Amino acid sequence: MTITRLRTPFPSLTSDNFVARGSAGHVFAISRDVIFKCPTKFDHPAPSQEEEMEDSIEKMENEKAIYKILMEHRHPNIVHGILCVSEGIFMERLERTLQSRINQSDTLPVSLDTQCRWIQQSTNAIVWLEDLGYVHGDLRPANILLDASENIKLADFDSTVKQGQRLLVASEPFCKLNEDYELDLAGPTSEQFALGSLFYTIRFGHEPYHDLEASTRVWKLIKNEFPATSYDDVSGDIIRGCWCSEYSSIGELQEAIRNRLCGHPWKTERKWESVNQWRSLLLLAECLTFLAKESMRADNAMYWKGWKNVLIAIVAMTVAVSLAVSGMF
């Protein structure tokens, strides 16, 4: 009897390394600092699983393409992509999702300062994408991560598209459908609607219309019947403005948020860039060392390829140490 099994991307990875599963694939822990995201693949798949595999591979290729761009244009509020390989993506490992933190807010309250910081940081990340010509396309708390200091790190770019293209997913209540239940084109209108629902969730601790059936909730949003926000004197008018598409760009929304919350837009700083460069090299060295070990474990014929990765890792670590010694951060 043929048994269907989940195929891991590398020989050393087992169920003990499994972290999470999503529509785009699986996530495995490599170390305390690194995870690996890969498409879903099965040995001896059933017909329905073959379709799932194809969809997962397509989404992963899209996400890899976006990460390659983001690795050339890094931002402190976007998850740090380390290395893209044929099997998937190495990226930094973070503490938790924003969704899981909000779910804890009844027992572990979120301060107003933290809420305002989350609103600003999530907007900064979306503006960064906008300036690159892209739209995240699936902005919601489950796709946002938090680091140890509870700073926002935008993640999950498998549904990211260029501005003007059709959106790929409908994650209500973070997107608005038309009366024919069709998705909008990707752009400032779609993205600020998602941000409005995100801000609402951050401020009130639950999604808009969380107590309604999904079908009722979707129809209310289609008909522009939004939850009351007037009693939120911090961001209520901004949330409603996002739902009503009052901002011509996310950059304009960012300016409104900065003026209201007395924050500051993210600016490139030499210190952040230097620290990021140092950390990037260390994480890259760790990933290359892992790949070298996997190459040697999988096939003796790849022995020299494995050692090549080790040598590259050593060079990366040497450069990182040199940066530290030279006092660049």
- Do residues 115 and 249 share a domain? yes
Total domains, the chain:
3
Q: What is the pLDDT of residues 146-182, one digit of tens each?
A: 999 999 999 999 999 999 999 999 999 999 999 899 9
The predicted structure's pLDDT at residue 135: 98
**Which position has the token pair 């600016």?**
267
CA dihedral 231, 236, 241, 242 (to 10 degrees): -130
- Do residues 120 and 254 share a domain? yes
| Biggest alpha carbon–alpha carbon distance for the chain | 67
The predicted structure's pLDDT at residue 265: 45
Which one of 54, 76, 92 terminates a domain?
Answer: 92
The predicted structure's pLDDT at residue 285: 87
- Do residues 104 and 191 share a domain? yes
Which one of 40, 72, 92 terminates a domain?
Answer: 92
Residue segments in the chain with a per-residue pLDDT below the cut of 50 = 263-272, 274-275, 300-304, 306, 325, 328-329
- Do residues 163 and 19 share a domain? no
Sort residue 306 into left (φ over 0), alpha (ψ -120 to 50) or beta.
alpha
pTM of the model: 0.89
SS (H, E, C) the chain: CCCCEECCCCCCCCHHHEEEEECCEEEEECCCCEEEEECCCEECCCHHHHHHHHHHHHHHHHHHHHHHHHCCCCCCCECCEEEEECCEEEEECCCEEHHHHHHCCCCCCCCHHHHHHHHHHHHHHHHHHHHHCEECCCCCHHHEEECCCCCEEECCCCCCEECCCECCCCCCCCCCCCCCCCCCECCHHHHHHHHHHHHHHHHHCCCCCCCCCHHHHHHHHHCCCCCCCCCCCCCHHHHHHHHCCCCCCHHHHHHHHHHHHCCCCCCCCHHHHHHHHHHHHHHHHHHHHHHHHHHHHHCHHHHHHHHHHHHHHHHHHHHHHHHHHCCCC
- Do residues 78 and 163 share a domain? no
- Do residues 64 and 106 share a domain? no
Burial letters 120-153, b for 16+ CB under 10 A, else e:
bbbbbbbbbbbebebbbbbbbbbbbbbbeebbbb
- Do residues 113 and 211 share a domain? yes
- Do residues 234 and 109 share a domain? yes
- Give the number of other CB atoms < 10 A from CB of residue 64: 19
The predicted structure's pLDDT at residue 262: 61
Task: List the domain range (segments joined by +) for residue 218.
Answer: 96-261
Residue % of the chain over a pLDDT of 70: 85
- Do residues 243 and 292 share a domain? no
- Do residues 246 and 145 share a domain? yes
- Do residues 254 and 281 share a domain? no
Among 154, 141, 156, smallest CA distance to 21 is for 156
**Which position has the token pair 């708390």?**
141
- Do residues 208 and 321 share a domain? no
- Give the number of other CB atoms < 10 A from CB of residue 32: 7
